[in-house]
A and B are shown apart, each in its own frame.
Chain A
């Protein structure tokens, strides 16, 4: 049971652990990790900053400080190494809400009723584009003022206010309206990390010889389209939209899916 869920347990541990460190810094002054997911300071000296927020600031015409640039560089390099959307499945607290929606969806059999999702997963890239245009036009960081992700992690650390409404809306939207709707279709931060993840090294690989085509992986995957090779071809999951959540690895009874390191060149989608 535990070995079947070890990545899930690890993910919950990092997600909750990171939020706990932020909360500890704000509430008790334990300054291991201060700030929040937008920008933080690790061990009192290493700056970490959200590259997508910095991009909006740049579009809005803000002067970008050296600290911010260093923080952005560290985050970009880190996620390029571990897989861009590892942020989504290993850090972002919204993941716990959308995973719950998904769980209920599977258990209640909603997916069997709503087979087709009438939306394009490319929507998130349009949202990035719009956010940058609005940032430029209004001179403010457009997504940061509406981001339910920020409302939730900031809310958990500094006081929630009406932030619970953001949680509820995402939960209900993913549960009833669109499967994986927020993280898989709309969220521009996930979209931004998807673009970044095209360059990252840690990827899930599929071995078609071991695969028995039970399709449990596709059932559980929040970004099903990235597993197009399952049962067809031995290759790595190269799409940046894969969140490296490792659910497919866990549900696979045939050891046909595993983490691997991408070679620098020569592997294409």
Chain B
């Protein structure tokens, strides 16, 4: 980019030079802007990241986190890490990998109050004016029934024992082992309302690659939408108010409904 603003002592630009310089600036700015925004858009697209407790929704988190690392310094277990260049994660933001070091759910949550920008929102981990790690929502544990050995019939309750909310976030259910006919299957079940996503279960899991693992809630959970309502649940019925479509878009058949069982298609006609 050549000088497009004349500096002291520089001779005045001709109109042609001025216009060319302007055009060159526009070209460079758009090229730079395109590359830059494309890159930023890509690196912030990673959705499989577990954030510290109290983190805002990922979109808001990315705009609010200033990448100072104070949550990382506050963490006494070295659970939290700052994404480095080359980690393929949004650079400079805090995350944790439970299989390596899970969140040990400190009752005083040292990582949250130190956040200078509110990207870790203290109010989201507070009940009745007191910090409460049990309401944290870092993710949700998911069980792969195929590789979980408890579902094979081998007795294992490592995840259940490791869970800091034992019996609430993970419980063990009994069923009959149909293969042997005389044994019980004792299989773990995750309760999504109680699970904080701390990952202690994932850390404890005995299989080579964890059969129970934590995913961010947006990744782990589906969304039924407002077309399906639990009519027997008064609270759920309220969601009807969100339903927006009032007209049906598929055309209703013009033929009148017929009793298909009595309509034998004329095969009995003489």
Contact = CB atoms under 8 A, between A and B. Distances in A.
Contacts of B64: 57, 62-63
A154 B3 contact: no
Given A34-B70, A39-B66, A126-B29, A49 B85 contact: no
A47 B113 CA distance: 13
Interface residues of B, number: 45
Nearest to B7: A225
Given A25-B73, A158-B72, A146 B116 contact: no
Interface residues of A, number: 62
Interface in A7-62: 25-26, 29, 34-36, 38-41, 47, 49-50, 53-54, 57, 60-62
B33 A133 contact: yes
Interface stretch (B34-42, B185-193, B240-248, B249-257): B34-42
B86 A63 contact: no
A67 B82 CA distance: 21
A228 interface: yes
A40 to B, nearest CB: 6
Nearest to B29: A126
B40 to A, nearest CB: 5
Interface stretch (A115-123, A197-205, A248-256): A115-123
Contacts of A166: 85
Given A63-B118, A145-B43, A163-B85, A35 B4 contact: no
B84 A157 contact: no
Given A67-B116, A126-B29, A120 B4 contact: yes
B210 to A, nearest CB: 25
Interface of A: 25-26, 29, 34-36, 38-41, 47, 49-50, 53-54, 57, 60-65, 67-68, 71, 118-120, 122-123, 126-127, 129-131, 133-135, 137-142, 144-146, 150-151, 154-155, 157-163, 165-166, 225, 228
Interface of B: 1-5, 7-9, 25, 28-29, 32-33, 36-37, 39-41, 43-44, 59-60, 62-64, 66-70, 72-73, 81-82, 84-87, 90-92, 114, 116-118
22 contacts: A26-B73, A35-B69, A35-B116, A39-B116, A39-B117, A40-B68, A47-B116, A61-B63, A65-B117, A67-B116, A71-B116, A123-B1, A127-B32, A130-B33, A139-B63, A140-B63, A142-B37, A144-B67, A145-B90, A155-B85, A158-B69, A228-B9
